[in-house]
């Protein structure tokens, strides 16, 4: 026979359960949010960085461009480094990121074959950046590049290709 005592018990047990659950969810939720948040909020931003003199670029060839720029790395002022290949063709600039689309090694332009080769798992891209053999699933990303006042500028905000 369910008497009053039983309902009181149930009531208290449920109450304790709800309060404990709320505390666990609140604190656990805050902890998980904080730990997960940087994965969502820390993105590489669009940023035009200077990458050398335009005069140094050799026409009609892939020029290897080292880009290093200051960026905020959480609590530190850090340097972010990127490697790019820029080919001036008349007034046009063709720029590729050297970051392999497989697992992120830097590809190297091979003058002889006119192809980009990745040292890590033998990925190969043609001169337009298209992946032609090996594991890379996608072409090399294209970068925005421009020349202003005799300086080469590259936009570091790569749209994930």
35 binds another protein (CB under 8 A): yes
Closest CA relative to residue 98, chosen from 151, 139, 135: 139
Q: Which residue carries 């699933």 as its tokens?
A: 137
Alpha-carbon distance of 76 to 41, in angstroms, equals 16
Nearer to ligand FES, 104 or 150 (CB): 104
Among the candidate windows 43-51, 57-65, 98-106, 151-159, which touches ligand FES by CB under 6 A?
98-106
- As a residue count, the chain comes to 161
- Choosing from 49, 80, 108, 134, the residue that interacts with ligand FES (CB under 6 A) is 134
Give, for 41, the enclosing helix (H) or strand (E).
Answer: helix 4-41
118 counts as binding ligand FES under rule CB under 6 A? yes
Residues that bind another protein (CB under 8 A): 13, 23, 27-28, 30-35, 37-38, 41, 74-76
């Amino acid at each position: 026979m369910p008497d009053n005592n039983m309902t009181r018990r149930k009531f208290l047990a449920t109450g304790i359960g709800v309060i404990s659950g709320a505390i666990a969810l609140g604190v656990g939720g805050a902890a998980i949010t904080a730990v997960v948040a940087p994965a969502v909020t820390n993105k590489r931003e669009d940023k035009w960085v200077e990458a050398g003199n335009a005069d140094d670029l050799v026409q009609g060839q892939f020029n290897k461009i080292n880009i290093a720029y200051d960026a905020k790395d959480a609590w530190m002022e850090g340097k972010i480094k990127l490697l790019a290949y820029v080919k001036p063709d008349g007034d046009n600039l063709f720029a590729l990121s050297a970051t392999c689309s497989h697992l992120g090694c830097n590809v190297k332009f091979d003058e002889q074959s006119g192809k980009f080769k990745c040292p890590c798992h033998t990925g190969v891209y043609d001169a337009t950046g298209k992946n032609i053999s090996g594991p890379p699933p996608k072409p090399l990303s294209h970068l925005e590049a421009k020349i202003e006042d005799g300086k080469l500028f590259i936009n570091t905000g790569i749209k994930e290709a």
